[in-house]
Structure 1
């Protein structure tokens, strides 16, 4: 208990999957948590049971003004933001030759531009907090490639590079920036009965990951336990990328 006591965290995509697990884990370890998502009912269902020190705030990560409002509300409720978990993401599958420009741009807007907007929006607040930790949730799709998800792979590789650039720039402010690269985790994006999920049979730990296992890694990066870590990739994939 208490590994992030006194910190204020914003978790995007907090209404489900890894985001919900992360919101609960950070709150259990003492952080005040803003559960940020476009899905209001599900977001409140995560935040409300946590009680004091947690709140749902609606957020479309592709909207710069919404980011400004989200950070302002976090500060008004709890104080300056010291942890940002850029977790919101979407995926669109299909062959390259059939991928529409609109679908490609939508994935990039959420998965890449949303991360940029979040980092930019939170920096002034983290400076007021005296420093902080930004955790950008990428994917093993940002370490290796997969067919039929071109936009997703493009965005997740970009997040990896953006993390390194931001880490170099923000170190002087006491802000650390790292990326997390989950493998196949059982969420709405990867149900256990899909062909994608079946790929775990060939990895060393031959099962889907659990959202809580990724949340534990995010907690480490949010806490002072990772005080010497910045600009790095942290992979939790059951060994998928060792193949």
Structure 2
């Protein structure tokens, strides 16, 4: 059996990973979530598939994460093959502002950066460190960070996408952190990867790009990179592509930041 743990598994891409992976009864799938109160679809899926294990924790709290890792360990016998870091947040409402718009709004700027660093970088490091011993004992030994094209310099430069400042900075920072883990853990046979899921049709994406004028702006920006972009891909399509990249991860590609197509420039 192959064991998988996915954070942020209540909905969207995280739930998509759980759904896709749990189809195979040989997979043990741990859905790591913050609360069961909003986990209706996940609960329904887990009721049908006994290889899904729901683990409730708080990824910003190392003590609670240690407890979550212990829960996983009890089921797997002390190991974990693949850890997928999917949980994250777009941060405060100021994410719509471009950098210079924070002039005179220094407190808002600090909050924009600090909340995103906490939610999208520090919390992910807490998860890695608390689950690391389990990954060391696993067969696959893979740590995957679900990043974003927003954290790529060339993507930003070409599209001219100047907002979601804190989110982009935190994603870019975590991309580097993932490469640091790759350098440190190579001696243990552990491989890491930052992976962009693409533009995906999730509730979170709809909240940002659902407005017709915003959608028009986004499409104009994205078409600077790919003139054929017409809209987001389905969760299933994105997850299927991502799993192919994860399965092909080797020592040679460990620590890289790749798209869901397994390269560095095909973002859609």
- With the shorter chain as reference, the TM-score category is 0.7 to 0.9
Shift of 1:117: 1.1
**Aligned counterparts, 1:1-243, within 5 A:** 6-29=1-24, 30-43=26-39, 45-47=41-43, 48-79=46-77, 80-92=79-91, 93-95=95-97, 96=99, 97=102, 98=105, 99-144=108-153, 145=156, 146-191=161-206, 193-194=210-211, 195-198=213-216, 199-200=218-219, 202=223, 203=226, 204-223=228-247, 225-228=248-251, 229-236=253-260
More displaced, 34-43 or 154-163?
A: 34-43
Q: Which runs of 5+ in 1 are unaligned?
A: 1-5
Give the secondary structure class of the aligned counterpart of 2:203.
coil
CA distance in 1, matches of 2:40, 2:56: 10
Give the alignment's TM-score, normalised by structure 1.
Answer: 0.86
CA distance in 2, matches of 1:73, 1:45: 22
Q: Which has the larger radius of gyration?
A: 2
CA distance in 2, matches of 1:242, 1:8: 28
- 8 Å CA contact 2:260–2:267 kept in 1: the answer is no
Give the alignment's TM-score, normalised by structure 2.
Answer: 0.78
Give the secondary structure class of the aligned counterpart of 2:96.
coil
Q: Which runs of 5+ in 2 are unaligned?
A: none
Aligned length: 236
CA distance in 1, matches of 2:84, 2:146: 7
Give the secondary structure class of the aligned counterpart of 1:129.
coil
Give the secondary structure class of the aligned counterpart of 1:62.
coil
CA RMSD of aligned residues (A): 2.5
Where do 4+ consecutive residues of structure 1 move more than 4 Å? 239-243
